[in-house]
Chain A
Amino acid sequence: MATYSINEFRAGIKVLLDGDPCSIVENEFVKPGKGQAFNRVRLKNLKNGRVWERTFRASETLEAADVAEKNMQYLYNDGEYWHFMEPDTFEQHQADEIVVGEAARWLRDQDTCIVTLYNGSPLVVTAANHVELEIVETDPGLKGDTAQGGTKPATLSTGAVIKVPLFINQGEVVRVDTRTGEYLCRAKD
Chain B
Amino acid sequence: MTEPAWQPTATIEAIARRAELYADIRAYFSAQDVLEVEVPVLGQYGVTDVHIDNPQATVSGRKVYLQSSPEYFLKRLLAAYGRAVYSLGKAFREGESGARHHREFTMLEWYRPAWDEHQLMDEVADLVSAIGFETDTPDDLGTSDNLDAEPQRLSYRDAFVTATGLDPHRAADAELRELTAQLGLSSGADSRSTCLDFIFSFKVEPNLPMGLVFVYDYPAAQAALAKLSEDRHGNPVARRFEVFLNRMEVANGYWELCDADEQRQRFEADNQTRIALGKKPVAIDESVLAALSQGLPECAGVALGLDRILMQLLGVSSISEVLSFADLLD
Asked whether, in the complex, the Cβ of B186 is within 8 Å of the Cβ of A28, the reply is no
Which A residues are in CB contact (< 8 Å) with B277? Answer: 59
Task: List chain A positions with a Cβ less than 8 A from chain B.
Answer: 7, 10, 28-38, 40, 53-60
Who on chain A is nearest to B198 by CB? A38
Asked whether, in the complex, the Cβ of B101 is within 8 Å of the Cβ of A55, the reply is no
Interface check B188, CB cutoff 8 A: yes
A39 CB to closest chain B CB, in angstroms?
9
Residue from A33, A36, A55, A60 within 8 A of B252 (CB atoms): A33
Which B residues are in CB contact (< 8 Å) with A30? Answer: 98, 201-202
With A29-B96, A31-B51: A38-B185 Cβ-Cβ less than 8 Å: yes
Which B residues are in CB contact (< 8 Å) with A55? Answer: 183-186, 198, 202
Asked whether, in the complex, the Cβ of B202 is within 8 Å of the Cβ of A34, the reply is no
Lowest 3 A-B CB distances belong to which pairs? A29-B98, A35-B197, A36-B197
B330 CB to closest chain A CB, in angstroms?
5
Who on chain A is nearest to B96 by CB? A31
Asked whether, in the complex, the Cβ of A32 is within 8 Å of the Cβ of B249, the reply is yes
Who on chain A is nearest to B197 by CB? A35
Asked whether, in the complex, the Cβ of A37 is within 8 Å of the Cβ of B51, the reply is yes
A54 to B183, CA, bound (A): 9
Which A residues are in CB contact (< 8 Å) with B185? Answer: 38, 55-57
Asked whether, in the complex, the Cβ of A33 is within 8 Å of the Cβ of B188, the reply is no
Which A residues are in CB contact (< 8 Å) with B194? Answer: 35-36, 57
Interface check B269, CB cutoff 8 A: no
Main secondary structure, interface of B, reads loop
Asked whether, in the complex, the Cβ of A34 is within 8 Å of the Cβ of B222, the reply is yes
Give the number of chain B interface residues (Cβ < 8 Å): 32
Asked whether, in the complex, the Cβ of B249 is within 8 Å of the Cβ of A33, the reply is yes
A38 to B201, CA, bound (A): 9
A80 to B191, CA, bound (A): 53
A60 to B201, CA, bound (A): 18
| Chain A proximity mask over B259-302: 1 for CB below 8 Å, otherwise 0 | 00000000000000000011000000000000000000000000
Interface check B130, CB cutoff 8 A: no
Asked whether, in the complex, the Cβ of A34 is within 8 Å of the Cβ of B98, the reply is no
A104 CB to closest chain B CB, in angstroms?
35
Asked whether, in the complex, the Cβ of A31 is within 8 Å of the Cβ of B101, the reply is yes
Which B residues are in CB contact (< 8 Å) with A59? Answer: 277-278
Which B residues are in CB contact (< 8 Å) with A35? Answer: 51, 193-194, 197, 200-201, 222
Which B residues are in CB contact (< 8 Å) with A57? Answer: 185-186, 188, 190, 194
Asked whether, in the complex, the Cβ of B101 is within 8 Å of the Cβ of A36, the reply is no
Asked whether, in the complex, the Cβ of A54 is within 8 Å of the Cβ of B184, the reply is yes
A58 to B28, CA, bound (A): 38
Which B residues are in CB contact (< 8 Å) with A54? Answer: 184, 186
Which B residues are in CB contact (< 8 Å) with A32? Answer: 197, 200-201, 242, 249
Which A residues are in CB contact (< 8 Å) with B252? Answer: 33-34
Interface check B121, CB cutoff 8 A: no
A54 to B101, CA, bound (A): 20
* Given pairs A28-B99, A29-B97, A35-B193, 12 additional interface contacts (CB within 8 A): A32-B200, A33-B249, A34-B49, A34-B222, A34-B224, A34-B252, A35-B222, A36-B193, A37-B51, A54-B186, A55-B183, A55-B198
